[in-house]
A and B are shown apart, each in its own frame.
Chain A
Amino acid sequence: MSASLDTQNTVRELSQEGYKYGFVTDIEADTAPPGLDESTVRFISAKKEEPEWLLDWRLAAFRAWREMTEPDWAKVNVAPIDYQAATYYSAPKQSAGPKSLDEVDPELLAMYEKLGIPLRERAALAGVELAGVAVDAVFDSVSVATTFKKELGELGIIFCSFGEAVREHPELVRRYLGTVVPQNDNFFAALNSAVFSDGSFAYIPPGVRCPMELSTYFRINAAKTGQFERTLLIADKGSYVSYLEGCTAPQRDENQLHAAVVELIAHEDAQIKYSTVQNWYPGDAEGKGGIYNFVTKRGACRGARSKISWTQVETGSAITWKYPSCILEGDDSVGEFYSVAITNNRQQADTGTKMIHIGKNTSSTIISKGISAGRGQNTYRGLVRIQPRAHGARNYTQCDSLLIGDRCGAHTVPYIEVRNPSARVEHEATTSKISDDQLFYCRQRGLSDEDALSLIVNGFCKEVLKELPMEFAVEAQKLLAVSLEGSVG
C-alpha cells in the first residue's frame, strides 16, 4: 500500500516536472478592462501617474501601431492574436508602491521564493544559488521590489523599476527612451511603447564597474494578460555592467503575449553584458497554450571602444520571435551575440541577431546554437550589415544546428550586406544529428539515456554556455536537460 502511494507521488512529481513553474498565485489584482484603444493607454499612464510627455509619447506609439500590421516574414505559425481580448494592465493590489520589502505581499514573496529568486536582501543569501545578485522582479505588469538598492546607490548606480525611474530620474529616461528602439520600430515594439506597464531601469555612472550582477525576473501570472515591460540600461563612459534576465509563467491553456522592449546604451569604453535565460511556459506536447514571446532587444554602442554582448538561452515559449541586435556606431566598438535556442514538441523559434556596423574597425561575433527535437522548428535569422563608413569592419558568424529525431526542423537564414570593400565577413554553418553512435558510447559508459542526451547537448552549446555568469550557467544546463525530456528513447 505504501508502495502504491509512493508511485502515485512519483507520477505526480514527474508530470509536474515538465514545467515546474506552472503554478498560479492567488493575489488580488488591479486590472484594466480588456481591449485596446486610446483610453487604455490613458488608463495605464494615469494609473502610473506619469508626466504629460510620457503620455504623449505613448499616444504617438499607439497611433503608429494602429497603422501597422503584424510582421509575417518570420518562419513561425501564429494563431491570430485578438488584441482586443487581451488585458493590458494587471497589478497586484497594493496601496501605492512598496517602500520596502516588508510591504510586499507575502504571497508574492513566497512565489518568488518558489522560483528561487532571492528577493530578501539578507546576508543569509550568501549560501543561496543566486547570491550577490541585485534583483528587480516584475510580476505581471509592475515591478514589485528591487534589492540591494542601497549598496548600489553608494556607487551612484541607479537600479530601479521603470516607473520609479520616470518619477525619480525623468531627465535620464527622457533623454534615452526610444533612442535605440523608436516607438514605430516594428509592430510589437510600437504596441509595447503604447501600453508598457513597467520594467527595469539601470544607469551606471562613468568609470564605475557594477560590483554585482543586476537581474530582472519577469513573471506572467494573471490570465489573459499581455506583458509589456521595458528595460532601459545605460552604461556611461568607461563603466561595466552585467545584467541577467529570467522569466517564468504559469501553465495555461490559452496563449499569452509577451512583447518586451530592451534598450541598451553603451558610451565610450563602456561594456554591457546582457544574459537571458528564457523559460516561459512552452505549451503542452500538442502545442496547446504557451507564451508568445515577441521581443525587441537592441543595444547601441554609441561610444568608441564600447562593447555590448548578448547571451541568450531560449528554452521556453510556444513561439519565440527575437533578434537582440547591436548598432556599432562608435569606432572600434564590439558586438557579440551568443545564443542557444531549443525547440521541442510544437515549439517554434525564429531568432537571431542584427549587427549593424557603422563605425570604423567595428567587430562582431555571432555564435548561434539551435537545437530541435520533437516537432520543433528552429530558425536562425541574422543580418550583418557593413555601412560605407565602416572601414576595417569584421564579422564572424557561426551557426550550428543540432537535430534530435527526424520530425523537427532547423533553418539558417543569413542576410549579409557589405557596403565597404575593406570589410571581412565570415560565415560558417553546420547541421548535425545526435548520432546513435554518440548515445551508445555514453550509455556504454553507464550514462542513462537522459544523461547522455544532456551531456551531448551541453557539449554542443558549450561555447555559448561559457559566456553565462556562473550561477546562470548551472541553471541553464539543468534547463536544457528538462526541455529535452522525452525526446529520445
Chain B
Amino acid sequence: MMLEIKNLHARLADGREILKGIDLSVAAGEVHAIMGPNGSGKSTLAAVLAGREGYEITEGSVRYQGRDLLAMAADERAREGVFLAFQYPVEIPGVNNTYFLRAAVNAQRRHRGDPELDAGQFLRLVRATLKLLDIGDDLLQRAVNVGFSGGEKKRNEIFQMAMLEPRLAILDETDSGLDIDALRTVARGVNGLRSPDRAIVMITHYKRLLDYVEPDYVHVLQDGRIIQSGDKDLAAELEQRGYGTFADAMGGDAA
C-alpha cells in the first residue's frame, strides 16, 4: 500500500481537535479525490501528511510504503517521494526559482544515491518538463513565487511536482481560482504523473478538475472525518446536492 491512514486524530497547540479519526488507503496507481467544505480539515490532513510542525497526533497511524510516515522528518518525507502542492505557496524573496528547484532535485538525488545534476543537465530537464506541461519559461528567472499571480503560483507548484516526480503527490486545492487554461496545465501535470507506481491525492472544492483528471475514488471530508467514499459519480452527486445535505444525511454536526 502506498499510503495507509488509520484512525488519525490531530489537534492544534490550543487543543482544538481538527482531524477526528481519518481512515484512508491509497494504493499505487490510484488517484483519490478528497472533497469537503471549507474548514473541514483538508489542508490540515495534507499538512500532517507532509510533516508540518504544530500539530499533535493524539491517535492513529500513517504508513507510507510500509514505513511509519509520522516518524520521519518533513524533509525526509519529501526526499522519500512525498510531494505537497501547497494551497498557498509561499514567497522566498531573492531566491531564484530555477536555483531553488535545482537544490530540491539534487537533495533528492543525493538521498537516492544518484549523481547530482549540473546546471546544463538540469536545464535540459527543465526545458523538457516545460514542454510536456506546455508552459512558458517566464517563471524560471524570477524569485520563488514572488509577485506571481495566483495562477502562476499554482502552475509553479505543478512544474515543481513534474520535476520532482514524487511517489505520492498531494495537491491541496491546486485547481482553485484557475482559469480554464491553467486548469488544463494542472490536469496535464497530474495525468502525466499517473503511473502504476505512483499515487495521487487531490484535494478539491469543485468537480471541475475531476472532469479533466478522472479519479478512481472520491471521499467526502467533513468536520475532520471521512463521511462518505465512492467513485467519480459521488463528485457529481455532491455538486448537485451540496455538502450540507450530505452532512444532514449522515447526521454530521457541521454548522
Partner among B89, B90, B94, B160 whose Cβ is within 8 Å of the Cβ of A460 = B94
**Which B-chain residue is minimally distant from A454 (CB atoms)?**
B103
Q: Is A179 among interface residues, defined by CB-CB distance under 8 A?
A: no
Q: Which residues of A contact B107 (CB under 8 A)?
A: 445-448, 451
Chain A residue numbers with a CB within 8 Å of B52 are: 440
A368 to chain B, nearest CB (A): 15
A406 sits at the interface (CB 8 A): no
Q: Which residue of the partner chain A has the closest CB to B99? A: A455
Could you tell me if A455 and B103 are in contact, using CB atoms closer than 8 angstroms? yes
Interface stretch, picked from A16-24, A370-378, A430-438, is: A430-438
Q: Cβ of B94 and Cβ of A458 under 8 Å apart?
A: yes
Given A447-B103, A462-B94 in contact, is the A441-B111 Cβ separation under 8 Å? no
Q: Which residue of A lies closest to B145 (CB)?
A: A441
A459 contacts the other chain (CB 8 A):
yes
At the interface, yes or no: B57 with Cβ under 8 Å from chain A?
Answer: no
Chain B interface residue number, banded: 20 to 34
The answer to whether B95 touches A459, judged by C-beta atoms less than 8 angstroms apart, is yes
Q: Does residue B84 face the partner (Cβ distance < 8 Å to A)?
A: yes
Which listed residue, A437, A447, A461, touches B94 by the CB 8 Å rule? A461
B94 near A441 with CB under 8 A, answer: no
Contact with A along B89-114 (1 / 0, CB 8 A): 11111110000110110011001000
Contact A435 B79 (CB under 8 A): no
Q: Does any Cβ of A come within 8 Å of B187's Cβ?
A: no
Is A445 touching B78 in the complex (CB atoms < 8 A)?
Answer: yes
Name the contact of A446 in the complex, choosing from B75, B91, B144 (C-beta under 8 A).
B75
The one of A445, A451, A456 that contacts B164, using a Cβ cutoff of 8 Å? A445
Q: Which of B74, B83, B111, B143 has the most CB of A within 10 A?
A: B74
Interface majority SS on A: helix, strand, loop or mixed? helix
Does A121 count as interface, using CB distance less than 8 angstroms?
no
Q: Does any Cβ of B come within 8 Å of A442's Cβ?
A: yes
- B213 contacts the other chain (CB 8 A): no
Q: Does B206 contact A (CB under 8 A)?
A: no
Q: A444 in the interface, Cβ–Cβ < 8 Å?
A: yes
Task: Check if A436 sits within 8 Å of B108, measured CB to CB.
Answer: no
> Which A-chain residue is minimally distant from B143 (CB atoms)?
A459
A437 to B89, CA, bound (A): 9
Q: Residue B92 contacts which of A442, A444, A448, A451 (CB distance < 8 angstroms)?
A: A442
Number of inter-chain CB pairs below 8 Å: 76
How far is it, in angstroms, between the C-alpha of A456 and the C-alpha of B50 when the chains are bound? 20
Asked if B90 contacts A446 (CB within 8 A), the reply is: no
Q: Is there a chain B Cβ closer than 8 Å to A224's Cβ?
A: no
Given known pairs A441-B86, A444-B84, A445-B104, the reply for A456 and B92 (CB within 8 Å) is yes
A463 within 8 A of partner (CB): yes
* SS of B interface (majority): mixed
Tell me if B75 and A441 are in contact (CB < 8 A). Answer: no
Q: How far is the CB of A249 from chain B (nearest CB, A)?
A: 30
B93 lies within 8 A of A460 (CB):
yes
Q: Chain B 239-254, CB within 8 Å of chain A: the 1/0 string?
A: 0000000000000000
**Contact partner of A441 among B54, B90, B101, B103, CB < 8 A?**
B90
- Answer whether residue B53 sits at the interface, using C-beta atoms and an 8 A cutoff: yes
Distance between Cα atoms of A458 and B95 in the complex (Å):
7
- Closest Cβ neighbor of A455 among chain B residues: B95
Q: Which residue of chain B is the closest to A448 with respect to CB atoms?
A: B75
A441–B89 CB distance below 8 A: yes
Q: Does A449 contact B (CB under 8 A)?
A: yes
CB closest chain-A residue, reference B76: A446
Q: A446-B104, A447-B103, A448-B75 are in contact. Are A441 and B92 (CB under 8 A)?
A: yes
Q: A120 interface residue, CB < 8 Å from B? A: no
Q: Quick check: B108 and A446 within 8 Å, CB to CB?
A: yes
Question: In the bound complex, how far is the Cα of B164 from the Cα of A63, in angstroms?
Answer: 68
B94 to A445, Cβ gap below 8 A? Answer: no
Taking the complex as formed, is A443 at the interface, i.e. its CB lies under 8 A from any CB of chain B?
yes
B interface, CB within 8 angstroms of A: 50-54, 73-75, 78-79, 83-84, 86, 89-95, 100-101, 103-104, 107-108, 111, 143-144, 160, 164
Supplied contacts A442-B100, A445-B164, A460-B93, 9 more A-B pairs, CB within 8 Å: A440-B53, A441-B86, A444-B74, A444-B83, A445-B104, A445-B160, A446-B107, A447-B75, A452-B75
